[in-house]
Every structure is written in structure tokens, then in C-alpha cells.
Structure 1
Amino acid sequence: MSQSQGLLRGTPWKAIVLFSVPLLIGNVVQQLYQFVDAMVVGRHLGVLALASVGASMSLLFLITGFAWGMTSGFAIPVAQAFGANDIKGLRRSVAAGAILSGATSLLMTLVGTIFIRPLLQLMKTPPELIDDAATFGFWSFLFMFTLVFFNFLAAIIRAVGDSRTPLVFLAIACLLNVALVIVFVAVLDWGIAGAAFATAVSQLTSVLLCVTWVRWRIPVLHMGLDDWKVTMPELREHLNLGLPLGFQTSVIAIGTIAVQVRLNDLGPNAVAAFTAAGRVDGIAVTFLASLGLATSTFVAQNYGARQIDRVKHGVRQSLVVSIIVSIAIGLALFLLGAVFVELFIGNEQPVVLNLAHDALKIYSVAYWTLGVLFVVRGALQGLGHMKPPFYSGIAELVMRVFTAVVLGALFGFIGVAWGAPLAWIGSIALLIPSYIVISRKLDERTYRSGPRTEEIEVLSAPLLAEKGVVADPTILQGESFEDVRTGPIPIVRDRGETGQFPALDETYVLMDDQSTSENPEDEQR
């Protein structure tokens, strides 16, 4: 539980950075195994095979992006309930998210496997790419449930303050994937299907590891039969959080599809260059995405604990850290981007190499806007406000389509490459004003996180003494309240002006010698 205590206490930026480190390592590991996949495919199957994977990835991103966004949304009420110590609400929230994740993965599998080839044809995929692209997409969609449930399980484990365990399981899955893709593609010569099948097996392994860990080490997530009896209002509540976040990612993916259509018109070299640049960009972006995800969990837990001042301080400090990191990343890619691209395609494709490096130079000058985007969007999501991120996704879609249609027609590959930076700028133009307005309205006395029947105050022992709180000798002996955030805490009860102890179901105070109220108003309550 130390990580959760770190998010609820201590210097905000340090807590966020420490929590983001496992997320960062996990994201980098995930990008690295995709990096290795692309290297194996590009080196053993050729540039056309690499371009085929890229041609199907925009469609896969549309579906997998929706799944990732939706499951991340389902985890927000889990983090808020955890911060509020609402165990019953937490478990019912997990059950609702699991049910919805299962239904979604089934629907995605059916739609993806049936319509992958017609959709690729609709996107004007070059004839020399379409067979391999359809094969890769079919196998990826067939095992979509492994991706959906790993994302969901990892999200709820992080929501209760553990960002390290998902990293370990992801690392195991990535190492397994690297080994399998080499065996399936380079040794057994299974072609594009081998790359997709290797990913599916590794993701299934990570799901099984997550389930085992939850049953073994996280009692707060142990579900009873009653927890699974979720109601339609509870399902709707989770959909209200998950769907906007999923659609937000999907509309971005639709913009990516528009970009892919334009690239298809520009030929295989443009597709291969954009795919290679995207792999390098993906690794760079993980640094910023990890800070954004850590900010979202930080905000959700502290909002659940009603520490609003801490929420605001954390967001401001996270913005500073993110901008500094993004400038450093941008400078590195501007100068060394060609070196990374060469890992995919070697130095025998100078046209592809130069195009990919040009794209990375364009991205690098605007990374600071992406850093701001991730933090502000994560903060709004942690607060449970999904509409601004959704509308910002619409803005990204408009900008990507505009650049693909207009700038792509005028300036070719370079015009298409400007789509991402312009999309980031359009997004933060909506997110920043939204966050400013919402943050000004936050009040520690207006808090919501599932059903609760008691008022809880976390007070230090000296403050308890000042308030005249004494232990009730008739019930205190040996009893403690199991706070999932901090461990067992002795129960103390206030006699009040009447000199009588209230009933346990009316009120109680949690005493923690190591915690103090961060808000001066708490001492006046």
C-alpha cells in the first residue's frame, strides 16, 4: 500500500513522478517489443511487409484505442472509491467494468474479423499490401479479448495504488513476445500471421498473471457473488465514464485513418516511412503519456479523499515536469531521429529514411504541446469530467482530417506529417480553458464517490486531543478499522456535548498518528 500512501501524501510532483516510473518503463518495454516486431518483419519479410502492418495498424488503433480508453474510464471510479475507502463501491465498480469489458471485446472481435478486408479496400490500401494487411488484422482482432482484459486488469491494479505489478507482467509478456515473433517469423516462417499470433499469446499470458496476482495479493479486489449483481444504473454510470474516453481515442484514430488514406495515395514508401517514424515517435511519447496517466490516478485518488488543494498543486507541478521532459525529448529526436529510423529499415532505403526523419523533426518541435495535453486531459479524467476530453478528441480529428486532405494535397508527405502537431494544438485549445473553469469550481465539501453512510475524518492524535476525542472503553479494546489506503487504524469516538458515545453506524473518527490534515479548514470541521 505504500504507493497509494505516496499519492495521498508527500510532495505532489515527486509522488506523480515516482508513480509514473513503472508506467513509463512498462510503456517503453511495450514500445520496444513493437520496435522489435517491426525490425523482425522489416528485415526478414521486407519493406512491403512492414508497410502492410502499418496499413492495418490505423484500423487496429481505432478499435484498440477505444478499448484502452474505455477500460481506463472504468478504472476512474475504482480509484475514487479507493481514495474514499469505499470498499463495497470499489468492488461493484470492478464488477461493472469487467462485465462491460467482456461484452465490448466480443463485439470488437466479431466486427473486426468480418470487416477487416472490406475496410482496408475502402481505405484504398495498395493492392500489393492488402493481403498481408488483412491477415495481420484478422489474427489481431481474433484475440482482441486478451488486449481488452489486460488493459482493464492493469488499470484497476493501478487504481488501487500499485503501478509496479502491471509493469512486471507487461515486461514478461514483452520478452515472451520478442522470443515468439523471432521463432514464428524468422525460424518457422509463418509470415505476418506469426507476428500477430506471437502478440496474442504474450497478451494472454499477461492476463493470466494479472488474475493470479489479484487473487493472491490484493484482497480488496476479491469479489463476492453480491458484488457481481450490478444494476443498470451502475452499468450506465460506468458507460458514462468509459464511452466518452473510448470515443475520444477512437475519433483520434479516425483522423489517423484519414491520414492513412492519404499516405496510401502517396505510395508504399510514404506508408513505410510513416510507419517507421511512428514507431520511434511511440517510444518518445510514452514518457509524456506515463506522466498523464499518473496524473489521472493521482487526481482521482486525492479527489476521492477530498484533498482538493493537493489535486490543484499536483496538476500544476506535473505540467512543469511534463514540459521539461517534452523539450528534452524533442531536442533528442530532432538531432538523432535518423539513427533510430535506421534500425527498422537499414540504410538501403534512403528515400524512406529521409521521409521518416523529416516527420520526426516536425513532431519534435511540438512535443511540449503534447506534454500539456496529456497532463490536463489526465486531470480532467481523474476528476470524472469526460466531456472536455471527448470534445478535444473531436478537435484532434478535425485537424488531422484537415491536414490529410488539404495540406497533404498541397505539400505531400510533409503536409501529412504536420497533422499530429496541429491536432495537439487544437486539443489543448479546448482542454486548458475547460480545466481552468472546472478547477475553480472544485470544493472539498462537494464530493461524490459512490454510496457512503458515514463521514470519515483522518486526523492526527494531537488534533484528536484538541477536539476532546476519547476512546470508548466498551468497544475500542482490540478493534480497528481496516483502511485500505493506510492499514489498520484504531477506532475512537467523540462523546460530544452530551457526554454519550454515538452509535457506530452514525459516526466515527479515524486516528492516524502519521497523517495530518493538509487543508486548514479540516481543523475547523
Structure 2
Amino acid sequence: MTKDLTSGSPLKVILLFTVPLVLGNLFQQFYALADTIIVGRYCGVSALASVGSTGSINYLILGFVIGVCNGFAIPIAQLFGAHDDHDLRRHVANAAWLCLGGSVILTVLTVTLTRPLLVLMQTPADILDGAVIYIGWIFAGIPFIFLYNMVAGIMRALGDSKTPLYFLILTSVLNIGLDLLFVIPLNMGILGAALATDISQAISGVFSFVYLCRKFEILKMQKGEARISKRACLRLLGIGFPMGLQCSITAIGSVIVQWAVNVLGSTAVAAVTAASKTMNLLTVPLEIVGTAMATYAGQNLGAARMDRVRKGVHSALLIACIYAIASLIILHFADVTIMGLFLDTTTEVEIVRMGQEYLFWNSVFFIPLGALIVWRYSIQGLGFSTLAMLAGVAEMVARTAVAIVLVPLLGYFGAELANPAAWIAACLFLYPAYLWTCRHLDNRLLAAKLRLQSKEVESNESLA
């Protein structure tokens, strides 16, 4: 069930590893999209805006969870590349303990603070109650989100990007079915959409965990390996926490932009919601190329193959650029069609027009987005997640500046420039950071090689 990414053509290896991830994350997108589509179609624009107004705060919290789990997978990928199975199992066990504790704490905090956070963001009064119901129940399912993403991260670290896809296909279909059941015949509205997501996440997490325990022989725990280890926990947190924080820091900028959009009214909120969901559908593959690079870079660093890391980054940048151009072309011709999934484009003409503008000004900057994703995840896979976190700070500062300066000055057009400004700011930081990281690791691996050679010479001389 495992796959070694330290041999073969980097371009071919990355593509083969990425395709199942892309499909899996597209199905994961359907979790949220099913809620948005069905609520928008059957509950009206106000309900759509209620769900959409929670997007940034949802990413703030759940992005932290996903970032932490992806970060925990990086030391596991490095140990797998180094063929250190004993320490690998120790890190898997400690990742599980950390996720268990973190899920309890985060669930209590977020459910308690849901309404105060939405009020602080100046969520319009006519959609506030619906937003509280939706995101409050989504946060109640955080333990299962932790469970699934931890298991999926471990599988990817071991080179298996296909199995998580199978579970996501199953549970995405279930989520859509439950959405339709709860929202239409049972008339449960926004609450029904949230419960459908929670139930689907729970099934996905439990099923994937059972499968992991039964099918991955390399993870069969030996005596003492499941105990809490301070060293393993510190190593996991040293990479996982900055990655989670990076996602949250990036999301803070999005929250501030959402606050600025909320001030513009429910129509602007609905337009940004429809456009963002449309854009997210097409940018999933870019994010997945990055996720693949984190595993690829981690395994090849464990195998001391920095030459393959560089070749892999070049291949990933090529893939990202080609896809970014293709996405721009698709959006030019199909933007209204895709937005039609979320609202009635024949009646909501103003929302559609505003959504088209938003998509245009974002899509022309997809190449910088692809570059920053490749560099950021590669740096994380090499173990320097603090640098990736600082790139998140650059994104946050750029989005905050746009929200504070450009939105009051330019109105909705200012909000359209928030993402492009953030992506360019991150690229300006990440490219030099990537070059420095590679040089630093080259020197470290060379020093380790020289020490080993010196010890071999001393050993031979003593034998002589």
C-alpha cells in the first residue's frame, strides 16, 4: 500500500501521485459545494449569503486543522524515505495523541465563540442567525475532521494517494444525498446542510481509520511504540503547528476582507460567495500539486536526494503554470455556467455580474498562485514550516492593507484585488526562501557526508 517517491522521473512521479489527490480533493470540495448549491437553490439568496459569510472563519479554523495534520505527515514522510520504520510508527502514534487532544480543545473553543466572532466580523443582521447555526454545527464536527485529515496525511506520507480518494467518493455521495434529504423533504434548511456535512465527515474519518489500522502492515505497533514521546511530539509540533498557524494567519487576512465585504451588504456577500466557490473548484488541482510536493520533498530529503527535490520543484512549477493558463481560459467561457450551480443566474443578474468581475481579477493571477503553492509546500516538506508561516504573514498583511485602504476607497473592486495582492506578496518572500532552504540543506547534507567519510577513514586506519 506504500509508494516510494525517491526514484523514477520526478515529473511522472509527481503527476501519478497528484491525480488521485486532485480527484479526492474535488470530492472534498463537494462537501462544501453541496451545502452551498442546495441551500442557494432551495433556501434562497439570504440563506446562501448566511453560508457564504462563514467561509473565511471556516477556513480560519479548519485550515488550521488541515495544516496541522499535513505538518504531522512531513516527519512521517521523511522517516519513510529514510526507512526508519520504528521511529515512523512512534511518530504516527504521537500524531494520533496530539490530534485527539487538539480536537477536544478546539471544538469547545470554536463552538463557544461562534456568535461573538460573527458579530465582530459585522455579519449583516439579516443573515447572522443562519450563519451561527451553520458554522456552529460545522465546528461541532471538528474531531472527525481531525481524524480524517490525520489518517489521509499518514497515507500520503507513505505514498498512498489513492485510498483517501475512495473514501471521499463514498462520503461525498452520502453528503449530497443527506443534503437533499434534510433540506428538501425534511425542510431543515441551513441546519440540515450542516448536519449532512458532519455525518459525512464522521463516516469518512472512522472508515479511513479502520482501513489504516488493518491494511498498512508497516504501522503495526510494536511494544512501547504507542507511548507518548516528548521527542516525537516536539518534532511533530515543530512542523505541524507552524503549518496550521500559517493557514490560520493566511485566513485572518481573508476574515478581514470578509469583514470589509460584509459592510458592502448581502448582495456583495452573495457575489463573493458564488465567485469564490467557483474559483475554488478550479484551484483545487493547484493546491494538490503543492500537497504532493510536500510528500515528495519530505521523502527525497529523507533519502538525501536534494537534486531530485530541485527537479521535482521545476516539474511542479511547469504543471502549475500550464494548469493556471487552462483555468483562466475555462473561466472566461464558463464562469456564468459554474456560478449557476449556486444561484439562479437568470434572476440574480447583479450578483452574477459582480461574481464575473471577481473571477476575472483573480484568475489572471493564477500563475503567481501556482508558484507560491509549489514553493510553500516544498519548503514545508523540507522541514522549514516557519518560513512558510512567514509567507502566510505576508499574505495576511497584503489582504489587510487591501481591506483597510482599497475597499473603503474603491468599494467592491478593492475586494477583488485582495487575493492577487496576497499572492504576489507571498511569492516575493517565498522564492528567496526556497533558494536559501536548498542551499542550507545542501551544506548540511555535505557536512554529514564528510563526517561519515572521516569516520570511515579513522576506522580503516585503526584496523590497519
Q: TM-score, normalised by structure 2?
A: 0.94
Q: Within 1, Cα distance between the matches of 2:237 and 2:34?
A: 36
Q: Within 2, Cα distance between the matches of 1:147 and 1:33?
A: 12
Q: Within 2, Cα distance between the matches of 1:444 and 1:154?
A: 33
Report what 1:458 is aligned to: none
1:36 deviates by 2.6
CA contact under 8 A between 1:78 and 1:159: conserved in structure 2?
yes
Matches within 5 A, 1:399-438: 399-438=398-437
Provide Cα deviations, 1:405-440, integer angstroms capped at 9, x if missing partner.
111111111111110011000001111001111212
Bigger-Rg structure (1/2):
1
CA contact under 8 A between 2:148 and 2:209: conserved in structure 1?
no
Equivalent residue letter for 1:72? N
Identical counterparts, % of pairs: 38
Q: Which runs of 5+ in 1 are unaligned?
A: 450-454, 456-495, 501-525
Matches within 5 A, 1:216-365: 216-224=214-222, 226-346=224-344, 347-365=346-364
> 2:55 pairs with 54, 57, 64, which one?
57
Matches within 5 A, 1:2-401: 4-5=3-4, 7-224=5-222, 226-346=224-344, 347-401=346-400
CA contact under 8 A between 1:43 and 1:345: conserved in structure 2?
yes
More helix by share: 2
CA contact under 8 A between 2:75 and 2:235: conserved in structure 1?
no
Equivalent residue letter for 1:358? E
Q: Within 2, Cα distance between the matches of 1:126 and 1:66?
A: 26
Equivalent residue letter for 2:199? V
SS in 2 for 1:235: helix
1:102 deviates by 1.1
Aligned CA distance change for structure 1 residues 444 and 156 (closer, same or farther; 3 Å): farther
Q: Within 1, Cα distance between the matches of 2:440 and 2:308?
A: 15
Q: Within 2, Cα distance between the matches of 1:238 and 1:285?
A: 28
CA contact under 8 A between 2:97 and 2:228: conserved in structure 1?
no
Aligned CA distance change for structure 1 residues 186 and 89 (closer, same or farther; 3 Å): same
Q: Within 1, Cα distance between the matches of 2:406 and 2:336?
A: 24
CA contact under 8 A between 1:337 and 1:361: conserved in structure 2?
no
1:402 deviates by 0.9
Higher relative contact order (CA 8 A, sep 6+): 2
Provide Cα deviations, 1:75-127, integer angstroms capped at 9, x if missing partner.
00000000111011111111121111111111111111111111111111111
CA contact under 8 A between 2:79 and 2:88: conserved in structure 1?
yes
1:225 deviates by 5.1
Q: Within 2, Cα distance between the matches of 1:448 and 1:230?
A: 32
CA contact under 8 A between 1:308 and 1:444: conserved in structure 2?
no
Aligned CA distance change for structure 1 residues 166 and 57 (closer, same or farther; 3 Å): same
1:134 deviates by 0.5
1:342 deviates by 2.0
1:497 deviates by 8.3
Provide Cα deviations, 1:309-339, integer angstroms capped at 9, x if missing partner.
1111111111111111111112221332122
1:445 deviates by 6.7
SS in 1 for 2:8: coil
Aligned CA distance change for structure 1 residues 303 and 122 (closer, same or farther; 3 Å): same
CA RMSD of aligned residues (A): 1.9
Q: Within 2, Cα distance between the matches of 1:34 and 1:156?
A: 23
Q: Which runs of 5+ in 2 are unaligned?
A: 453-458
CA contact under 8 A between 1:214 and 1:222: conserved in structure 2?
no
Equivalent residue letter for 2:61? I
CA contact under 8 A between 2:291 and 2:377: conserved in structure 1?
yes
1:228 deviates by 2.1
Aligned residue pairs, count: 452
Q: Within 1, Cα distance between the matches of 2:86 and 2:146?
A: 24
Equivalent residue letter for 1:177? N
1:387 deviates by 1.6
Aligned CA distance change for structure 1 residues 180 and 246 (closer, same or farther; 3 Å): same
CA contact under 8 A between 1:307 and 1:444: conserved in structure 2?
no
